[in-house]
Structure 1
Amino acid sequence: MNENKKIKVLFVCMGNICRSPTADAVFRHLVKEAGVDHMIDVDSAGTHAYHIGDPPDHRAQNTALQRGYKMHDLRARAVQPNDFEEFDYILAMDKENLSLLQQRSPQQHTNKIQLFMQYSTQADADVEVPDPYFGGNQGFELVLDMVEEASQGLLAHLRTNKKEIF
């Protein structure tokens, strides 16, 4: 890997207003704390164009803010064809979005697409981050717990496998 090339991580859910912006904010925070934010780019997107341009769901923002994560400046966007080439890690929150990404991806980039929770050290690799949109605040707490844990695992994975940036 070229030492000047940034690692690019894209988190993906359905509408890009709950789960993926939460992961975006949490992982961005961890990357900054680790002092490698100049070497890792973080973004999020949705497989559906329901909420393009909208900020994250207020419940997701409030839950994240209570733990020190800011995402008020994020805006929903849809996955674009060039994302498959541009990003090194394309991490889906659930199997439905994983499947949609795999269908849309050019064959040479499907190896970049994974379930985000595979980086969790406490959950099975095929565990999904549940969509909290139609539930109560406890769903957003659960999502944040899962995202924090998998984000730590992802950062540990990058430390081990991308030593040139650490």
Structure 2
Amino acid sequence: MKAKILMVCLGNICRSPLAEGILKSKLNPSHYNVASCGTSSYHINSKPDQRSIDIARQHGIDITDQRAAQFKVSDFTTYDHIYTMDSSNYENIIDLASNDHEKNKVKHILNELHPNSNLDVPDPYYGGEQGFEDVFQMLNKACDNIALKLKESD
């Protein structure tokens, strides 16, 4: 059975599409299903932000086929691991959980690099291109650790 991983940010057009694309590039698609969504409904069915598409492409990753979706309670059943990009996303998802099993699936993605620090991946939406590169690098390192842990647990 495929392990299912969900990446979550606010609008699902900047950070979580990058995290989805990066992690997919590190895992065998026949063993893992990686997706992303947002906690808000602002951008449902929209393509990722062009700057996310561009930075991913510069690193050899194509995220143009992704479309924004909103987190739903059924995602707790669908996904084995849920990674949030910041504390606000984390709290929004935890508030929807109905039990400890669901809550235990939700993690701050940067805790993969800095355990128990609950650091936020900065939202690059209002920043320049360097912000998107910085976010890419953070997520790339975190996804290296996630991919390693997933492969070890296979």
Give the TM interval when normalised to the shorter protein: over 0.9
1:78-120 per-residue CA deviation (whole Å, 9 max, x = no partner) reads 0011101110000000011000000012213111000011112
Q: What is the distance in 2 between the residues matched to 1:151 and 1:92? A: 12
| Counterpart residue type for residue 103 of structure 2 | T
Where does residue 20 of structure 2 map in the other structure?
24
**Aligned to 1:110, which of 92, 103, 107?**
103
| Counterpart residue type for residue 154 of structure 1 | I
TM-score (norm 2): 0.95
C-alpha RMSD of matched pairs (Å): 1.0
Q: What is the distance in 2 between the residues matched to 1:47 and 1:117? A: 18
1:5-46 per-residue CA deviation (whole Å, 9 max, x = no partner) reads 210000000000000000000100111xxxx22111000000
Q: What is the distance in 2 between the residues matched to 1:152 and 1:139? A: 20
Unaligned runs of 5+ in 2: none
| Counterpart residue type for residue 95 of structure 1 | S
1:141-160 per-residue CA deviation (whole Å, 9 max, x = no partner) reads 01000010000000111122
Check conservation: 1:60, 1:140, Cα contact below 8 A. Answer: yes
Q: What is the distance in 2 between the residues matched to 1:152 and 1:79? A: 24
**Aligned to 1:56, which of 41, 48, 57?**
48
Deviation beyond 4 Å, 4+ runs, structure 1: none
Kindly indicate whether residue 121 of structure 2 is the aligned counterpart of residue 129 of structure 1.
Answer: yes
Percent of aligned pairs sharing the same letter: 35
Q: How many residues align?
A: 152
Unaligned runs of 5+ in 1: none
